[in-house]
Amino acid sequence: HNADTRKCAEWVKNKFEQAGLENSQILETGGQPIVYADYLHAEGHPTVLVYGHYDVQSPDPLDEWKSAPFEPEVRDGKLYARGADDNKGQFFAHLKALELLIHTDKRLPVNVKFMVEGEEEIGGVHLDSFIESHLDLLKADVCLISDSHSLSVTQPLINYGLRGLVYTELTLSALDKDVHSGEFGGNVPNVAIELANIISKLKDPVTQKVLVDGFYDNVRQVSHEEMHQLEHSPFTERFVLEETGASRLIGEEGFLPPVRMGARPTLDVNGMSSGYILEGSKTIIPSKAMAKISLRIVPNQTSAEIAEKFTNFVRKIVPRYVNYIDVKILSTGEPILMDISSHFFKHAETVLEEVFGNKPVYDLSGGSIPVTATLKKLLGIDSILMGFGLPDDGLHSPNEKMDVEMFYKGIKSSTLFFRSLGL
Amino acid sequence: HNADTRKCAEWVKNKFEQAGLENSQILETGGQPIVYADYLHAEGHPTVLVYGHYDVQSPDPLDEWKSAPFEPEVRDGKLYARGADDNKGQFFAHLKALELLIHTDKRLPVNVKFMVEGEEEIGGVHLDSFIESHLDLLKADVCLISDSHSLSVTQPLINYGLRGLVYTELTLSALDKDVHSGEFGGNVPNVAIELANIISKLKDPVTQKVLVDGFYDNVRQVSHEEMHQLEHSPFTERFVLEETGASRLIGEEGFLPPVRMGARPTLDVNGMSSGYILEGSKTIIPSKAMAKISLRIVPNQTSAEIAEKFTNFVRKIVPRYVNYIDVKILSTGEPILMDISSHFFKHAETVLEEVFGNKPVYDLSGGSIPVTATLKKLLGIDSILMGFGLPDDGLHSPNEKMDVEMFYKGIKSSTLFFRSLGL
C-alpha cells in the first residue's frame, strides 16, 4: 500500500497548509514519509511538538466490518472507519484546533511543530533515525500526543507511562518439504508440534509468569502509594470482560488488572501458522511453522535486553532435531515514565478538567508509543498523552470508531491547552 | 473446484468407453460423482473390482512447482503433475491393461468392474454409503488397487495392511474479537497459547507416546515373527532421512521405523492457524485458534473409538476460561489387515515377480485407503494393493511425479494378472 500511504501523506500536507501552518513538507525517511509543518511566531513562549501517525492497522478480517473500513460512516453519533481513533481522528483534532486559532485569533500563542509519521503501526522503523538527523528541526519543550483514550466522555485520562515492545517472528523448519502424514507420520519431527511445545514453555499456565530466563530482573518496583493509586484505576475486571468477551481474566498471579496492564510486562502470541489451514483436510506433516510473539516491557527493562533474553531462551529450549530456527525482531520500543511535576502537565490537567468537568486520572498505559521514549532520549522532552478516544473504540479491530462528541472535546481541549501555554 | 472434478469424471467415463468397457456411467453420490464401467463376459471366472480415484490433493504451495501442476511434463523419464502417482497415473495403468486385452484378445479372461471415485483425498465422504446402496452392482471376488508404491523399479511390494485415520479440526475461542495486545495483554486469555498448550499435551516429547487416555488399549500386538519381518523392511532410517530432509528420526520409543510406520498408531498436527500471519506485525490478541490434528490408527483400534477418546481428552485438558471449543471430525477410515493366503495373492505374487524380476515384499502401509476396510466389511472381499508408484514420488507435495518405466510395468503387471486369473 505504498501508493496509498503516499497519497495520505499528500493529503495531510494539504490539510496543514489549509490550516495556516507554514513550512508544510513531506520528508523522506527511506520508508513511509513523514509530514511536517510549523508555526513559529511566539517568541519567548514554549515550543510544542505535536505528534501523530497517518498509517493504520490492516483492516482484516474485512467481512466483520458493518461499513467499508476506508469509507467513513457516521452511525448513532459515532464515526466508523479504520483509523477513526488510531490515529487519524485524534491528530486531526489538534490540527483543527490550530486552524481555529490561526483563523480566529490570527496568531498562535505558542510555537508549534507538527509531525505526522507513517510507520507507527509497523514499529516506526525509520522514525528514530529521522529524529536523530532532524534534532534542530524538531527541538521543542514538550510533546503533545493523542494516541490514547479517555475513560469516558466525562472522565479524561493522562498516561504518565507506557509499556515498551519487543515484537518477534519465530520460524522453525525440520523437513525439506511438506511430507505425507501416512507414510512418514510417527517417524519424523512435526514442527507444528515443536512450535506448540516452545510456546507452551514461554508462560506458566497457572501463575501466568513469563518463563524466559531473567525476564523480570529489571522490572521497576512500584511504590505502595503508586500501586494503591493504580489499583483504583477504572481499568476494572468488569470493563475488560465486557470489552473483550472473555469469560474470566487471566493474568500474572498477585497483581490486579490495571497493574498487570500498566506496570507489569507480559508475553502474547499475536499470530501463528503451520501447514494446511484452508477448508477440509490435507494429510501432511508441515515442513515449516511460524509464530509472531510479542513481549510488552516496562521500566527498567530495555528492548535490547529482552530481545536477547527471549532469543536465547527459545534457542535453548528448541530440540536439536529442528534443523532451522530463526528469531527475527520485527520491531521494538522502549518503555517510558513521564515527570508529571512540570507546568506542562499542570496546564493539561486544568484544561481537561474544564472541558470534561472532571479532573484527569493519571494512569499507566499497556500499549506502546515508542516515539515517547525516543523524544525523551534524543530531545530530552516528556510527552503529554491526552487521549480523545474511548476504551471501546475497537483499535486494530473491525468496526473501529470515534465518538463525534469526543472529537469535538479533543478540538476544544487542544485549543485551550495552546492558549493556556501562551498566557 | 466442483466444475473441474466433474470435467475429470466425464473424461474418465470417455476413457472407459474408448477402452472397450461397457455400461460406462457417472453415478451421483451427493458429493463428487463416481465413475463406473464393467465388462462381464467371463462366466465361471472370478470378478475383479478395480478401484481408483480421480481427485487429487491441493497443489499448494504453487511456487515450489518446477512445472505447472496441471500441465503434465516429462523430464528425464519422469512425468510431473499433481496426481501423476496419486492416483490418476496408477489407475490409468489398469485401464490401459484392460484396453490392451479387449482390443488385442477381443475378450477379457475375467469379469471386471471398474470404479473411480472423486473424494479419496477428502476422506471418501460419500463412498461408504454409495457402496452400501450399490452392493449388487459392485459385488466381486477381490479388489485390485494401485494407490501405493513399489520399493524400487525392480522390487515390487504388496501392502497387506493399512492404517486407518481420524482427521479432526479443533477450534478454540476465548474473546469476542481480536483485541489490542497493548491494552489487554496480560489480562485476557490468548487462545493461540491455549492451543499450543493443548497440542503440547498430546504427545510425550521424549517417548513420543500419544497421551490421549486409552489410546493404545486396542492396538494389535505384532507377533515376534511379523515384527522381525517388518524390521527388515526397506523403510529404513536412511530412506526416511533422505526423503524428508529430517536431521534425525523422531518416533515412538522402542520401535524401529517400519514398525512405527505400519504397525503403530500416531498423531500429527497437519495445520494450525491463529491471529495475524501475514507479513509484518499486528499487535493483537487473537480471538480464535484452529488446528487440524490427525491420528493414524492400526488394528484393532476403530475410528469411532479414537475419535471419541481424542475429543474427550481435549475437552478434559482445555481450561474452562476458553469460552468455545469445537472438535470436528473431518474424516475417518478404518485400519485393515488382509488375508494373504488366498489364491488371488498367489497370482499377484507370480505376476509381479515375472515383471520386476524379484518376488514382492509384503509390508504394512502407514497410509490409509479407507475403501479397503469398507469393501471388507460390506462385500467381504480383500484388496490386493500392488503399487506402481515409487517412494520418492512426492505424494501430496510439490513436483509429484511418476516414472514412465513404472507406468509401463503397471500396465504389464495388470495385464498378466487379469490373464492369470482367467486360466
Q: Residue A263's pLDDT is what? A: 96
Contact yes or no for B186 and A261 at CB 8 A? yes
Contact yes or no for B274 and A274 at CB 8 A? no
Contact yes or no for A177 and B248 at CB 8 A? no
Contact yes or no for A282 and B270 at CB 8 A? yes
Whether A369 has a pLDDT exceeding 90, the answer reads: no
pLDDT confidence of A401, banded at 50, 70, 90? very high
Expressed in angstroms, the distance from the first to the final Cα of chain A is 44
Q: Mean of the pLDDT values across residues A309-317? A: 98
The helices-and-strands tally (H runs, E runs) of chain A is 13, 18
Please list, in sequence order, all residues whose beta carbon lies within 8 angstroms of the beta carbon of residue B176, skipping any fewer than 6 positions away.
A244, A245, B287
Q: Cell 473483550 appears where?
A: A244
Return the residue in A157, A244, A249, A393 with the most chain B beta carbons within 10 A, the one to mutate for interface testing.
A244
Q: Residue B231's pLDDT is what? A: 84
How far is the alpha carbon of B197 from chain A, nearest alpha carbon, in Å? 5
Q: Which of B38, B85, B117, B120 is catalytic?
A: B120
The grid coordinates of residue A70 equal 476506508
Rounded distance, CA B27 to CA B9, Å?
Answer: 10
Which carries the bigger pLDDT value, residue B249 or residue A341?
B249
Residues of B in contact with A157 (CB under 8 A): none
Whether B199 has a pLDDT exceeding 90, the answer reads: yes
Residues of B in contact with A177 (CB under 8 A): 64, 244-245, 394, 397-398
Q: Considering CB atoms only, which of B188, B197, B282 is closest to A205?
A: B197
Of A405, A409, A414, A400, residue with least CA distance to A56: A400
**Beta-sheet pairing, A22-27 with A34-39:** antiparallel
Please list, in sequence order, all residues whose beta carbon lies within 8 angstroms of the beta carbon of residue A1, skipping any fewer than 6 positions away.
none
Whether A124 has a pLDDT exceeding 80, the answer reads: no
Residues facing A285 on adjacent strands? A179
Contact yes or no for A321 and B246 at CB 8 A? yes
Q: Residue A170's pLDDT is what? A: 98
Tell me phi and psi for residue B220, to 5 degrees.
-60, 135
Virtual torsion, Cα B251, B252, B254, B258, nearest 10 deg? -60
Q: Residue B391's pLDDT is what? A: 85
Q: Mean of the pLDDT values across residues B159-182? A: 95
The grid coordinates of residue A82 equal 479504520
DSSP string, A255-310: --HHHHHHHS-EEEEEEEEEE--SSS---EE-SEEEEEEEEEE-TT--HHHHHHHH
Q: Are A402 and A84 in contact (CB under 8 A)?
A: yes
Q: Considering CB atoms only, which of A179, A182, A396 is closest to B282?
A: A396
Residues facing B47 on adjacent strands? B111
Q: Which of A55, A99, A141, A382 is catalytic?
A: A55
Residues of A in contact with B82 (CB under 8 A): none
Rounded distance, CA B175 to CA B189, Å?
Answer: 8
Residues of A in contact with B261 (CB under 8 A): 183-187
Q: Cell 490550516 appears where?
A: A19
Q: Residue A234's pLDDT is what? A: 79
Q: Which of B38, B55, B117, B334 is catalytic?
A: B55
Per-chain mean pLDDT for chain B: 95
Q: Answer yes or no: B55 catalytic.
A: yes
* Per-residue pLDDT tens over the stretch B212-232: 999 999 999 999 989 998 888
Whether A47 has a pLDDT exceeding 90, the answer reads: yes
Comparing alpha-carbon positions, the chain B residue that sits nearest to A278 is B271
Comparing alpha-carbon positions, the chain B residue that sits nearest to A249 is B188
Of B414, B402, B403, residue with least CA distance to B354: B414
Contact yes or no for B281 and A291 at CB 8 A? no
Contact yes or no for B396 and A178 at CB 8 A? yes
* Per-residue pLDDT tens over the stretch A177-234: 999 999 999 999 999 999 999 999 999 999 999 999 999 999 999 999 899 988 888 7
Comparing alpha-carbon positions, the chain B residue that sits nearest to A335 is B182
The grid coordinates of residue A147 equal 494516541
Percent of chain B with pLDDT strictly greater than 70: 100
Contact yes or no for A250 and B200 at CB 8 A? no
Whether A123 has a pLDDT exceeding 80, the answer reads: no
* Per-residue pLDDT tens over the stretch B88-105: 999 999 999 999 999 999
Pairs across A and B, CB distance < 8 A:
344
Comparing alpha-carbon positions, the chain B residue that sits nearest to A168 is B281
The length of chain B in residues reads 423
Residues of A in contact with B285 (CB under 8 A): 268, 270
The grid coordinates of residue B250 equal 523422531
Please list, in sequence order, all residues whose beta carbon lies within 8 angstroms of the beta carbon of residue A105, skipping any fewer than 6 positions away.
none
Contact yes or no for A268 and B185 at CB 8 A? yes
Return the residue in A120, A162, A175, A193 with the most chain B beta carbons within 10 A, the one to mutate for interface testing.
A193
Virtual torsion, Cα A277, A278, A283, A285, nearest 10 deg? -20
Q: Are B293 and B201 in contact (CB under 8 A)?
A: no
Residues of B in contact with A58 (CB under 8 A): 276, 278, 282
DSSP string, A128-164: HHHHHTTHHHH--SEEEE--SB-SSSS--EEEEEE-E
Return the residue in B283, B328, B364 with the most chain A beta carbons within 10 A, the one to mutate for interface testing.
B283
Q: Mean of the pLDDT values across residues B385-390? A: 96
Comparing alpha-carbon positions, the chain B residue that sits nearest to A318 is B205
DSSP string, B53-106: E-------SGGG-SS-TTS-EEETTEEESTTTTTTHHHHHHHHHHHHHHHHHHS
* Per-residue pLDDT tens over the stretch B285-328: 999 999 999 999 999 999 999 999 999 999 999 999 999 999 99
How far is the alpha carbon of B365 from chain A, nearest alpha carbon, in Å? 7
Q: Mean of the pLDDT values across residues B97-114? A: 95
Q: Are B265 and B210 in contact (CB under 8 A)?
A: yes
Q: Answer yes or no: A392 catalytic.
A: no
Rounded distance, CA B14 to CA B24, Å?
Answer: 8
Q: Considering CB atoms only, which of B199, B208, B277 is closest to A196?
A: B199
Contact yes or no for A283 and B181 at CB 8 A? no
The grid coordinates of residue B1 equal 473446484
DSSP string, A178-228: -EEHHHHTTTS--HHHHHHHHHHTTB-TTT--B-STTTTTTPPPPPHHHHH
The grid coordinates of residue A332 equal 521494538
Q: Residue B235's pLDDT is what? A: 85
Residues of B in contact with A290 (CB under 8 A): 277
Contact yes or no for B396 and A285 at CB 8 A? no
Whether B359 has a pLDDT exceeding 80, the answer reads: yes
* Per-residue pLDDT tens over the stretch A134-172: 999 999 999 999 998 998 999 999 999 999 999 999 999
Whether B169 has a pLDDT exceeding 90, the answer reads: yes
Q: Considering CB atoms only, which of A121, A179, A186 is closest to B252?
A: A186
Q: Residue B367's pLDDT is what? A: 87
Amino acid identity at B411: I
pTM for this model (two decimals): 0.83
Q: Mean of the pLDDT values across residues A362-380? A: 91
Percent of chain B with pLDDT strictly greater than 90: 90
Rounded distance, CA A170 to CA A294, Å?
Answer: 10
**Beta-sheet pairing, B288-297 with B164-173:** antiparallel
Contact yes or no for A192 and B285 at CB 8 A? no
Comparing alpha-carbon positions, the chain A residue that sits nearest to B394 is A179
Residues of B in contact with A205 (CB under 8 A): 197, 319
Contact yes or no for A181 and B365 at CB 8 A? no
Return the residue in B62, B65, B244 with the most chain A beta carbons within 10 A, the one to mutate for interface testing.
B244
Region of A245 please: left (phi>0), alpha (psi -120 to 50) or beta.
left
pLDDT confidence of B122, banded at 50, 70, 90? confident
Contact yes or no for B240 and A187 at CB 8 A? yes
